[in-house]
Homo-oligomer: A and B are copies of this chain.
Amino acid sequence: MHSFNDLLAQFSDFFQTQKFPATPAALYDPCEYFLGIGGKRIRPVCCLMGNELFGNLHPDVWNVAMAIELFHNFTLIHDDIMDKSDLRRGKVTVHKKYGEETAVLSGDVMLIIAYTYLNKIDTSLLHQTLTLFNKTATEVCEGQQYDMDFEKRADVKLSEYIEMITLKTSVLLAASLSMGAFLGGASNTSCEKIYEFGKNLGIGFQVQDDYLDAYGNPDKFGKVVGGDILRNKKTFLMLYALENANPTQKQELEMLLQTNGDDKVQRVLDIFEQVGVKDWALDLKKHYNDKALHALDEIVVTNGRKEPLRDLTFQLLSRDV
């Protein structure tokens, strides 16, 4: 049994030994560059953790974890093109550094290489692993599409946002844990439970992310507090506020969404305060936290084996950065 950090160190060692082909350099250098700028590696490590919940690490789990991390990075490279983002993890994005054509193609080949890693596992495990991987990959694309659709809509409902976030970010976390569990010999029921754990952890993580944008400690958070507000992002907080504001508050909020005054963040936070957004968000996070831990509780393995995942839940959902 290992902690998240132990497994992160092990995965990082493996990850660093994996290389793209040398040529064509214009295709593979951007892949190496992007993987080299970091990332928290939460998903591949969750795959290892899901695996270790049921026994010793299976030799195939490294290839599945690698495939997951490549898939995740492929989505980031392409999302950055779609979102016209210049920076990712504080570094220049692939399309900014190498051009859009290269970013499209390097992302494509990274996805194909993800499948090449999946195809390294024991053939008896391949079909079921691919089934969940393909389903999840499709859902992540659908989530990204809904996210882009929502940017053009003024009437997005909180329930739609939760569905979008589930597809865009939670299902990959859930599937990472579940694929690891499957390789570890877990029953279908256990695979479903750990998936449920991961899905709720993922949604809770996003609630926390949205919460910290408004209420994080600016010294620790490392981002500008209120960045989402300035960019008119539809977050858990904003959507709740829009749905629960009285007519006057709603009118002011909608007016603020049209402006970019110096006091915009403070005025939006004032309305959040009036509508009770902060407490609601903390309750919502607790709701997903509890659902995740409940699913974990129901998995039939000795309690001690669950400790690293409980610690991870605490780390991710109680973080202030």
A134 at the interface (CB under 8 A from B): yes
Q: Determine if B119 and A134 form an interchain contact, defined as CB atoms under 8 angstroms apart.
A: yes
Q: Determine if B111 and A108 form an interchain contact, defined as CB atoms under 8 angstroms apart.
A: yes
What residue in chain B is nearest A129 (Cβ atoms)?
B119
The distance in angstroms between the C-alpha atoms of A126 and B121, with both chains bound, is: 12
A145-157 interface bits toward B, Cβ cutoff 8 Å, 1 = contact, 0 = none: 1101100000000
A131 at the interface (CB under 8 A from B): yes
Contact residues of A between 126 and 153, Cβ < 8 Å to B = 126-127, 130-131, 134, 137-138, 141-142, 144-146, 148-149
A48 at the interface (CB under 8 A from B): no
Q: Is the interface of A mostly helix, strand, loop or mixed?
A: helix
A255 at the interface (CB under 8 A from B): no
Least distance between A57 CB and chain B CB atoms (Å): 22
The distance in angstroms between the C-alpha atoms of A187 and B102, with both chains bound, is: 39
The distance in angstroms between the C-alpha atoms of A111 and B119, with both chains bound, is: 16
Q: Determine if A138 and B123 form an interchain contact, defined as CB atoms under 8 angstroms apart.
A: no
The distance in angstroms between the C-alpha atoms of A148 and B141, with both chains bound, is: 27
Give which listed residue, B107, B108, B123, contacts A123 with CB less than 8 A: B123
Residues in B whose Cβ lies below 8 Å from that of A23: 142
Give which listed residue, B104, B109, B141, contacts A27 with CB less than 8 A: B141
Residues in B whose Cβ lies below 8 Å from that of A119: 127, 130-131, 134
Q: How many subunits of this chain does the assembly comprise? A: 2
Residues in B whose Cβ lies below 8 Å from that of A111: 108, 111-112
A115 at the interface (CB under 8 A from B): yes
A93-129 interface bits toward B, Cβ cutoff 8 Å, 1 = contact, 0 = none: 0000000111011011101110110010001101100
Least distance between A19 CB and chain B CB atoms (Å): 14
A261 at the interface (CB under 8 A from B): no
The distance in angstroms between the C-alpha atoms of A23 and B123, with both chains bound, is: 33
Residues in B whose Cβ lies below 8 Å from that of A82: 101, 104-105
Residues in B whose Cβ lies below 8 Å from that of A87: none
A285 at the interface (CB under 8 A from B): no
Q: Determine if B123 and A104 form an interchain contact, defined as CB atoms under 8 angstroms apart.
A: no
Q: Determine if A142 and B78 form an interchain contact, defined as CB atoms under 8 angstroms apart.
A: no
Residues in B whose Cβ lies below 8 Å from that of A100: 81, 100
A26 at the interface (CB under 8 A from B): yes
**Contacts A127-B126, A130-B115, A134-B119; A78 near B145 (Cβ below 8 A):** no
The distance in angstroms between the C-alpha atoms of A289 and B119, with both chains bound, is: 34
A304 at the interface (CB under 8 A from B): no
Residues in B whose Cβ lies below 8 Å from that of A222: none
A24 at the interface (CB under 8 A from B): yes
Additional 13 contacts, C-beta under 8 A, given A82-B105, A123-B124 = A24-B142, A24-B145, A105-B148, A107-B108, A109-B141, A109-B142, A115-B130, A115-B134, A115-B137, A123-B123, A126-B126, A126-B127, A126-B130
Top 5 nearest A-B pairs (CB, nearest first) are A27-B145, A82-B101, A109-B141, A123-B127, A24-B145
